[in-house]
Structure 1
């Protein structure tokens, strides 16, 4: 069961939360949505708002849902769900039904979706997006180290955290 909380009551380490625990980025509506596992991103304050920043490659099926949705969720599953996170990060929603992954129970929340097995969920309203370009990189070779295919770069999305849920 998830309960809504105020962000000021949340105590987390955003670096381990994204990089080690991983998250599910989910976007779409009741009839059609997709999710993908992410470990690149950030949390902080921008434009006087609490925000998350997520990155989606051009080739990912989730990108079209991100582009066509006003909201997205960033969902962190409880510790026993690495197998499901791995599956959701390596298989495309074009090929499997991500609404019915074994061991995960999809639930509706205001402006999005989560799984009953979530430990933390941020509901985010999109504020900004930008396609990364090689000319924006300030460190030599960083673009080439991260992008073997210059056509399959990331789009950066910044979303205001409008709701936060934790498991009870």
Structure 2
């Protein structure tokens, strides 16, 4: 059973959880991927409720988002298995089926194809309405050195060399499973 919510009534819970890790889930045909993110923003843009996710260029999730333009944000509530955040943040969906490996329970979304994840019950269904590549030259040198070091191979799932694409997702449905 779903309880429908206004995401802004849960802004504190959502934004606190982002810093610890929430999931972004995508579906492209039969392929579902969950990726941990630690950067994200809840807000209003162009008069619409938006959740913005930042996905590195080389990530499988970026390919999924570019193909479908849909994602869910899955936020834990209460006690949860922290291994989910670690696993989904360190493995690539190109190489492994994280949903199967972790035994995650997928729930069909109402407005989009990307599913919700029962284990992380606060769900935002989002449809991409805008995407923007970061401007490398506009990022302060101190941040570039820390967040985008040139000596890390970008092919590694934990790589930091590649920059982010910001995906502005209009929140089309929000609920707690």
TM-score bucket (shorter structure): 0.7 to 0.9
Q: In structure 2, how many angstroms separate the alpha carbons of the residues matched to 1:47 and 1:114?
A: 26
Structure 2 counterparts to residues 153-164 of structure 1, below 5 A: 153-164=163-174
Task: Structure 1: state its 5+ residue gaps.
Answer: none
Query: What's the C-alpha RMSD, in Å, of the aligned pairs?
Result: 2.0
Structure 2 counterparts to residues 38-77 of structure 1, below 5 A: 38-77=37-76
Partner of residue 114 from structure 1, selected from 109, 112, 116: 116
Higher percent of residues as strand? 1
Match of 2:148 in 1: 147
Compute the displacement of 1:54 (Å): 0.6
Q: In structure 2, how many angstroms separate the alpha carbons of the residues matched to 1:32 and 1:4?
A: 27
Moved more, 75-84 or 59-68: 75-84
Q: In structure 2, how many angstroms separate the alpha carbons of the residues matched to 1:17 and 1:9?
A: 14
Per the alignment, do residues 144 and 161 of structure 1 end up closer, same or farther by CA in structure 2, a change over 3 Å counting? Answer: same
Task: Structure 2: state its 5+ residue gaps.
Answer: 151-159
Compute the displacement of 1:4 (Å): 4.7
Q: In structure 2, how many angstroms separate the alpha carbons of the residues matched to 1:8 and 1:27?
A: 20
Instruction: State the Cα deviation string for residues 43-86 of structure 1 (Å, max 9, x = none).
Output: 01111011011111112111100111121111113432211121
Match of 1:123 in 2: 125
Q: In structure 2, how many angstroms separate the alpha carbons of the residues matched to 1:125 and 1:75?
A: 14
Per the alignment, do residues 129 and 9 of structure 1 end up closer, same or farther by CA in structure 2, a change over 3 Å counting? Answer: closer
1:67 counterpart SS class: helix
1:152 counterpart SS class: coil
Instruction: State the Cα deviation string for residues 119-167 of structure 1 (Å, max 9, x = none).
Output: 2000011011111122222x34222221114861111111111100113
Q: In structure 2, how many angstroms separate the alpha carbons of the residues matched to 1:28 and 1:133?
A: 28
